[in-house]
Structure 1
Amino acid sequence: MNLKGWIELDGVRLSPADVERMLKAGPEPLTRCGGEFLLTWDDCTARDAFGIMPGPVPPGVVCCGGRSVARIAPDPPSCTLEEAIITAVNLRSDEGVVAFSGGVDSGLIAGLADLPCVAVGIEGSDDIIWATKAALMMELDLEVVTPTEEEVAEALARVVRVIPDPANPVEASIATTLFFVAARARELGHTRILAGQGADELFGGYARYLSSPDLAAELERDVADHERQRARDQAVATLHGTYFSMPYLDIRVVRAAQAIPSGEKVCGGVRKRPLRAVAERHIPAEIARAEKKAMQYGSGIWRTIQGLARRNGHRRVAEYLETLL
């Protein structure tokens, strides 16, 4: 048996020995399990329900002998959003680092996880300034990574070769930022990186939601599209032998978030209201309420990539990416 990631049942982490004993009864007991895993044994392969862990089979499927034999559909007891987030972070906090920008998404995870944090940004960028301030406020162990332009160019050339949509400038700039997080996590001896992915889609974090004509439909579309983003992020993490762990995409959190009406998530000009309300009970209110730019902009990575494109004779970043491919 080979297990990449981790498996839980009703909020209890299972050891590899526990999993081996469970599989003696066949794959059926696995269908109730949560976690983030790619599991292989005999001629079988199983992958977690949301497909957080990359693998050769579809998300939530158990394949044996080349055919699908079972579906993985964990069904933990219902709980409040706060209980769901606490459980999701606790299940993932035995090892790893937190990808930290000082915003509410990563701030709440960091406040609950008690793990080292990694912040990435060009020297003097908004993210580095704010993450450093937030880490001091929260008394976090923070590693700051400030890549040079040359290092950004090298990272960009590597990520465009592995991400699903390499010619898309936004996708490439996000992937480049995450490249440095994954690299530093590996240097620190960790394979798991707790990250805030999924929070914007579940709780209404994007600025465009403030003027959305049909917020509920837009949130639903964006949650469905998140599988593409996960594939991008994990492809980058794999370059360093790491993976991104996503507490907000825990089944408990997803269910609790989807039970909240969309009008309560974005209202009065405030985005992610339910998440901020939970965060204020665990981290400083200034961090819970903070509005910040997306990682590729706040880190300065996007502006650096724009400069690289111009210096290489291209008016558009997309043209520059094509030359790298």
Structure 2
Amino acid sequence: MRGAPAAVVRTAVADEHPLPGTGGFAGALDTQAAVEHGRLVGGRGGRVVRDVLGREPVFVEAQRDADRAAGRWSFDPRRLVDPRLVDAGRVVDLDADTETRTWTLPDPAPEPDHHAAVERVRDAVLDRVRAVSADGLAVAFSGGIDSALVASGVDAPCYVAGFPDSHDVAAAREAAAEMDRDLRVVDLTHDDLVRAVPDVVRATGRTNPMDVGIALPLFLVAERARADGFSRLAVGQGADELFGGYAKVVSPADDHRVAADTVRGARRETVETLPQQLPRDVLTLRVAGVEPVAPLLHDRVVAAALALPADLLATDEERKVALRRAAEGVLPPGVTRADKKAVQYGSLVSRELDRLARQAGYKRRMDDHVGQYIRSLVDEGGDDAGPLE
């Protein structure tokens, strides 16, 4: 079991408790484990579980024919013949070949007392970021409020990846200076992208430009941190989804990107995308050789965020309202108010992938020209495109 003791998970299953006080979990109960080099990699039989937000990915064989190890599961999809990601909140009984939705994300009524709601967020966030051990830890740092809050809780070096003229590098330098933090910049080149694409694709199983563009800066930051001797990387994942960081949450009734017509409904839609997003990030970091640490995705933070009223999530003037108020007095004002770009754009990785694709002959008039280019890099790499560990 990853992320929580088996006893805690057993109780959460028995009580159908969706937020039992963990940072997420996945793995197997009552199973025959498979261990390689002293590390649990999968197994057969028993029950496979994945928490309500899917913070830990786990996979089972999609097919159970005679050519496969019946009921086999793994944390690494590359170890399976036909891997299927277990849905969040599910318990899969591999012996009985059944799957049950055990946990559903809570939908609490909004807290009417705004001060109490912000204080609950502040207490939860500060508790969890300060609980992170600095042992072997580095911090992925973009200069935005999410990563700055994570960095505020630990004495660890901060890393940012981006092309020299990127928004993220400039913002990280400014924030690190205001916070008096050690910042290490990973200056990206085209060669870095070309080299890293096959590793990212093999780890995640994804070739679409959006996912690859998000994963590449994470991979390259993690790779550098690992080379510098760090084994864990703290990230700010989850804050945008939980606290209303997306533009589509502001006026959902007028935004075609969401089905909901309320701010809280749109926020819930974004939270429900996490189980598909997080495997990409977790698998990317692990293939680069570091273990992800995501304190803003802890159950306590999730519970505080879910209880926020709409006007503490997003307004026409401000997004992540409660999180910014909670950060007052913790972060410098300039960092608290800093705008954030999605990592694939803030690092300029998306722009430069497009440039590389066009230079390689994949023109914009072609269907999915960047995706075609990404797949060509993987094909060129063949079976040796990246490490399995």
Contact 1:117 1:140 (C-alpha < 8 Å) held by counterparts: yes
Contact 1:53 1:243 (C-alpha < 8 Å) held by counterparts: no
Name 1:55's counterpart in structure 2. Answer: 58
Unaligned regions of 5+ residues in structure 2, if any?
15-19, 32-45, 61-85, 107-116, 254-260, 364-368, 379-389
TM-superposition CA deviations, 1:258-302 (whole Å, max 9, x none): 111123311142111111111122010100001122111111111
Is residue 282 of structure 2 the alignment partner of residue 234 of structure 1? yes
Name 1:320's counterpart in structure 2. Answer: 373
Does the C-alpha gap of structure 1 residues 259 and 36 become closer, same or farther in structure 2, counting only changes over 3 Å?
A: closer
Is residue 248 of structure 2 the alignment partner of residue 260 of structure 1? no
Distance 1:72 1:34 in 2: 14
Name 2:63's counterpart in structure 1. Answer: none
Distance 1:91 1:71 in 2: 29
Name the one with the larger helix percent.
Answer: 1
Name 2:81's counterpart in structure 1. Answer: none
Of 52-61 and 310-319, deviating more is 52-61
Unaligned regions of 5+ residues in structure 1, if any?
8-18
Is residue 180 of structure 2 the alignment partner of residue 192 of structure 1? no
Name 2:162's counterpart in structure 1. Answer: 121
Match of 2:23 among 5, 30, 35: 35
1:144 counterpart SS class:
strand
> Which protein is bigger by CA-based radius of gyration?
2
2:273 counterpart SS class:
helix
Residue pairs, 1:133-282, within 5 angstroms: 133-167=174-208, 169-213=209-253, 214=261, 215-282=263-330
Distance 1:184 1:161 in 2: 19
Distance 2:344 2:265 in 1: 26
1:145 counterpart SS class:
strand
Distance 1:28 1:247 in 2: 22
2:139 counterpart SS class:
strand
Aligned length: 305
1:140 counterpart SS class:
coil
Q: What is the CA-CA distance between 1:38 and the residue it aligns to?
A: 5.0
2:315 counterpart SS class:
coil
One-letter code of the match for 1:272?
A: K
Distance 2:271 2:25 in 1: 20
1:113 counterpart SS class:
coil
Residue pairs, 1:48-127, within 5 angstroms: 50-56=53-59, 58=86, 59=88, 66=95, 80-95=120-135, 96-127=137-168
Does the C-alpha gap of structure 1 residues 245 and 60 become closer, same or farther in structure 2, counting only changes over 3 Å?
A: farther
Name 2:34's counterpart in structure 1. Answer: none
Q: What TM-score, normalized by structure 1, do the two folds share?
A: 0.81
One-letter code of the match for 1:264?
A: L
Q: What TM-score, normalized by structure 2, do the two folds share?
A: 0.69
Does the C-alpha gap of structure 1 residues 211 and 46 become closer, same or farther in structure 2, counting only changes over 3 Å?
A: closer
